[in-house]
Structure 1
Amino acid sequence: MHRWIALMDIVLAFGLSFAVLVAGALRGVFIAYPLLMAMALFGVVLRRRGFALRALATMGWVGSQKALPVIGVLLLIGAVTASWMAAGTVPTLVYYGLRVVTPHTMVLVAFGLASGVSLLLGTSFGTVGTVGVALMMMVTGGEGGELHRWLVAGAIIAGAYVGDRASPMSSSALLIAAVTRTDLYDNIRAMGRTSLLPLGLAIAIYAGFAWVSPVPLAASSLGHDLAAEFRLGPVTLVPAGVMVLLALGRLPVQRAMLASTATAIVLALGYQHYSLGQVLQFLLTGFELAPTSPLNAIVLGGGVAAMVRVSLVVVISTAFVGIFAGTDLLHRLERSLARVKTPGDRFLATALVGTLAAAFGCTQTIAILLTQQQLDPTYRRTQAPPSALALDLENTVVVIAPLIPWNIAGLLPATLLGVNAGFIPFACYLYLLPLVTLLWLRRKTAAAALATASSDLDYS
């Protein structure tokens, strides 16, 4: 009886924490506050189990140190976005985009362009913070304006994770290859095969949306206003070209971002004629135009300061995972996984554990590491090759994390695009991929079982 009571307090803490996180997301509360409340709930439970507050604080501190590399990337993304604004890169992309995009093609272009750029750059955040921001600027209000913004944002974010999952420059693909000790390019080839049907279905769905509910685009005066406010032209696209070329050369994406930012700063100073003080302020607090400009409510954003709130969420979430690891809270999960046997069961277990890890870890990286740590013994026990675990992680955790409203994988792109969790139903590819893969594995297992049964009957 005492063991069941001990188990129930953990279950209750998980349930209450999840409810707090969901309620916070639905009400638009800054997610750091619900995370701190959840941490306090677990602190009470663990204190009752004999863990000293000093020990828990140490575990949290050790865990939070893993956030430092992530924070560096987040702050750099804020600088890239602001510098592309000041250099005229984003305004030029919008200016040219308005000439070729129509209301009936906007959603498809958003998904296709985000997919292509993310495959080149290998970063979902970098894709959303650059071409994603430019695409969102083309969407205007009007009837159903918020719904259309969610639709376009969902297409952009889904496309951004096409490359985040399968690009050779992707940090998540590199991380999974490293922790599973598999070959990156073998993984990418396998990912390509499993993504064909989900990609086709996502394109078909977006085509349906485009036909039924065309996206209203910004008024034609926007192009004229952009040309009046900025010096536009191919030269302003150099920062984007620098980032793409360096990424193709397999330079770490952080260095590619730094080089792109430096190039954009030069253009902002020498081509757009901003002062050094203005450019530094843009990088720090975000780009903005004068209050008298007709574009002051449209062309704005980025900046290091905007990423500080997101960075705080990363610090808290990594501290949370540090406490989980230090107190071995998930050891009972290993017993449940002992029942897993078939490929379909393994995939479903990976998806469920990955969803839990993404919900409580709040970052894609932590979700990958926690899920790999929990599932690796199961894949070994069932004699599945390491490549199977790598592929299942790519087809679950990587694309499920952005669907958790408070996970950084979805929270940051939504913040950059200026939308809330309403984009999630429209990020079709992100949930089609695990769903289609699960159905295919179930069908394959059933076919194998039927073939075995038929063989046994023939033998009899």
Structure 2
Amino acid sequence: MQQRDIPFGLAIIPLLVMIGSMAVTIIKFEGSPHIPLILGAVVSAFIAWRLGHKWEEIESGIYHGIRLALPAIVIIIMVGVIIGAWIGGGVVATMVYYGLKLITPSFFLVSITLITAIVSLAIGSSWSTMGTIGVAGMGIGISMGIPAPMVAGAIISGSYFGDKMSPLSDTTNLASGISGSNLFEHIRHMLYSTIPGLLIALIAYWFLGRQFASTSMNSQEIISIMSELQNQFVISPWLLFIPLVVILLVARRVPALPALIVGIILGFFAHIFVQGGSVNEAVNTLYKGFTIKSENKLINELFNRGGIEAMMYTVSLTIVAMMFGGVLEKTGMLKSIVDKILLIAKTGKQLVVTTVLSSFFTNIVAAEQYISLVVPGRMYAKVYREKKLHPKNLSRALEDGGTLTSPFVPWNTCGVFILSTLGVHSFAYAPYAIINYVVPIISIIFAITGFTIVKLTDTEAKKMERFEQEEQVENV
């Protein structure tokens, strides 16, 4: 059977099947998204096979998709371990305890946004920030009577702001690299859309926080929580050095994985030597998570978590999602869909808008933020040069539409990670993750108006054309 390109009408079928079955599974049956994603992968594989793609090619696409997710899977597992280690070691309890003493409810949402933004900017990882500072922030906010979705939204906003703007971030480096723009030029260009987004978010969080101004920090409920924390854990300011060490390590460009391992080791020793747990308890906590039996239900909800076992749902969903995305990309279905979208972009302004929307669309289809940068980035790079648009326009559009929107997709690796880490579903926190949807809107407005859209000079265009020709010769 002769292999041929997959037309748009057939390429869109697996996506429609997946989205339709996903809606029924989640909304009607309140099930998990695993089976709809597998169904989408099966349908896409069948269509590709009928059109001449060999099974070996389809299978390699599945494995390629999974391989792309392996770094994320390792981080997911290690974050589960560090959550268990830090809860068992009393680190999270200490952060919650002092957070309740120092932060007022009315300014909590603003405070946690700024704190997570600074930490994520320093270490370049939204996931590491949410898995450490974010977990403690959830405990503090919920203890103050602030709804969990609202707290999660503020944590996500701050974490993704720092991740997006940090020169240490993998997505920031990936977006600049694939578009052909300079890293720091890319970061400076993102300031135009991201800083207004942060200011809008902070103002919104300030207004949202005002309704909690009447919550007294001396209320019986909060006093009860702090008292129970002291009964269950050894609370010591020295334990705050553990997260500080991890932040400093990554800030000094130590990769995220070794830095997390150091945090796990320190938390493990704190569990034994500070909290008085046995080696057996500390080891089991790393795998099964921490277990606490308290008369306070909130304490039980906050601290019965962590460990590798708790992350297996996330790991399995990540693998299944990447199976679906891998088949779509390898067989050209994703390209066929994006090419159809590209027909709409007749002008440079329309092209930037299309890039933002395509990156979000790829997040939905391929379920991985890296693919949402790579696929549109590869496909649109040449078109940007043809329309004399500077590559930093492309890199900013990729990040605004790809990096920031990934948490809104429940089956995306980011949405799944956040659910496992912060315990809040993407549909619940979506209205409060303000930076994540305001910045893409600002980016689209800038594209339509032409504001901050930079054109290539003739010299720059010729230089980029020569570089592309040399690169093609080297590849041959």
Query: What's the TM-score, normalizing by structure 2?
Result: 0.86
Secondary structure of residue in 2 paired with 1:419: coil
Is 1:14 the counterpart of 2:15? The answer is yes
Between the aligned partners of 2:25 and 2:164, the Cα distance in structure 1 is 28
Between the aligned partners of 2:403 and 2:288, the Cα distance in structure 1 is 30
Counterpart for residue 239 of structure 1: 242
* Residue of 105, 108, 116 corresponding to 1:106: 108
Counterpart for residue 254 of structure 1: 257
* Residue of 25, 41, 44 corresponding to 1:42: 44
* Residue of 410, 431, 449 corresponding to 1:425: 431
Counterpart for residue 288 of structure 1: 291
The 5 A counterparts of 1:52-451 are: 52-140=54-142, 148-212=147-211, 219-290=222-293, 295-332=299-336, 333-334=338-339, 336-337=341-342, 340-420=345-425, 421-444=427-450
- 8 A contact 2:143–2:225 mirrored in 1: no
1:439 maps to amino acid: I
- 8 A contact 1:110–1:156 mirrored in 2: yes
Deviation at 1:242, TM superposition (A): 0.9
Q: What count of residue pairs does the alignment treat as equivalent?
A: 443
Secondary structure of residue in 2 paired with 1:20: helix
Deviation at 1:241, TM superposition (A): 1.0
Gaps in structure 1 of 5+ consecutive residues? 449-460
2:178 maps to amino acid: V
Gaps in structure 2 of 5+ consecutive residues? 455-476
Between the aligned partners of 2:52 and 2:453, the Cα distance in structure 1 is 51
Distance 1:240 1:203, change over 3 A: same
Between the aligned partners of 2:114 and 2:417, the Cα distance in structure 1 is 20
Between the aligned partners of 1:330 and 1:405, the Cα distance in structure 2 is 20
Deviation at 1:187, TM superposition (A): 2.0
Query: What's the TM-score, normalizing by structure 1?
Result: 0.88
Between the aligned partners of 1:141 and 1:272, the Cα distance in structure 2 is 22
Distance 1:30 1:215, change over 3 A: farther
2:305 maps to amino acid: G
Q: What is the RMSD computed on CA atoms of the aligned residues?
A: 2.7
Distance 1:107 1:336, change over 3 A: closer
2:160 maps to amino acid: Y
Between the aligned partners of 2:88 and 2:183, the Cα distance in structure 1 is 37
- 8 A contact 1:150–1:426 mirrored in 2: yes
Distance 1:283 1:368, change over 3 A: same
Q: Deviations over 1:11-67 (max 9, x none)?
A: 333222222234444454222222112112223322332334454223212332222
Between the aligned partners of 1:15 and 1:152, the Cα distance in structure 2 is 33
Deviation at 1:249, TM superposition (A): 0.6
Counterpart for residue 455 of structure 1: none
Deviation at 1:436, TM superposition (A): 1.2
Between the aligned partners of 2:453 and 2:267, the Cα distance in structure 1 is 56
Between the aligned partners of 1:215 and 1:371, the Cα distance in structure 2 is 48
Deviation at 1:181, TM superposition (A): 3.6
Q: Deviations over 1:69-108 (max 9, x none)?
A: 2211111111111111111111111000111223322222
Secondary structure of residue in 1 paired with 2:140: coil
- 8 A contact 2:148–2:424 mirrored in 1: yes
1:376 maps to amino acid: A
Secondary structure of residue in 2 paired with 1:220: helix
- 8 A contact 2:14–2:41 mirrored in 1: no
Counterpart for residue 453 of structure 1: none
Between the aligned partners of 1:335 and 1:370, the Cα distance in structure 2 is 14
Distance 1:24 1:124, change over 3 A: farther
Between the aligned partners of 2:13 and 2:453, the Cα distance in structure 1 is 40
Deviates more, 1:16-25 or 1:149-158: 16-25
Between the aligned partners of 1:26 and 1:214, the Cα distance in structure 2 is 35
Between the aligned partners of 1:394 and 1:125, the Cα distance in structure 2 is 16
- 8 A contact 1:357–1:366 mirrored in 2: yes
Secondary structure of residue in 1 paired with 2:106: coil
- 8 A contact 1:344–1:445 mirrored in 2: no
The percent identity for this pair of structures is 24
Q: Deviations over 1:400-434 (max 9, x none)?
A: 11122221212211321111221001111111101
Q: Deviations over 1:217-268 (max 9, x none)?
A: 8632111111121111121112201111111111111111111111221222
Distance 1:340 1:287, change over 3 A: same
